Amino acid sequence: NNAGIMACPFKLSKDNIELQFATNHIGHFLLTNLLLDTMKKTTRESKKEGRIVNVASEAHRFAYPEGIRFDKINDQSSYNNWRAYGQSKLANVLHANQLTKHLKVHLLLLYSGVIYMPYGLVVHNWCVFTIVQYNLLCLTLIKKRMSLGRCSFHCLISFL
């Protein structure tokens, strides 16, 4: 599971859920839950443990001080784009924790570091880097997208 929107202005999804939470968490949650019965069946038949890989982020630490604001997910008046991003990533971590408690699957939370993505970066509020600084940092210190793919693939096939 991985998604790719970060710190964007407030917007609702087609399902009327704040867009970052919908994209970065609800989509993962839904896909994972739709596949669970098949995963359990395959695990029983093959006698091999199932595996779920979630690409996570240290950004879960950016969440609102109270954590996930379930009662205010769609509250535009108190929306902070970076806190909302952190909230979506925190939801991924908490979901992964619950899956490991209740299922016999191997769940890997992959913290990939920062990956350079050459799309336009939406920067609002308290972003640490300007776009120029971000691109310079990416060129010198940050991993390339291919390394994320390698990490994810390794997590999927190792220990088979």
Render pLDDT for 96-127 as a digit per residue (tens, 0 to 9): 888 888 776 666 666 555 544 444 444 433 33
Query: Looking only at Cα atoms, what is the longest distance across the chain?
Result: 53
Residue-wise pLDDT tens digits, 2-29: 766 888 899 999 999 999 999 999 999 9
Among residues 6, 31, 32, the alpha carbon closest in space to that of 19 is found at 6
Matching residue, tokens 């919908």? 22
Determine which one of 64, 79, 85, 134 is catalytic.
79
Tell me whether residue 85 is one of the annotated catalytic residues: no
Matching residue, tokens 């997590």? 155
**What is the percent of the chain with per-residue pLDDT over 90, rounded to a whole number?**
34
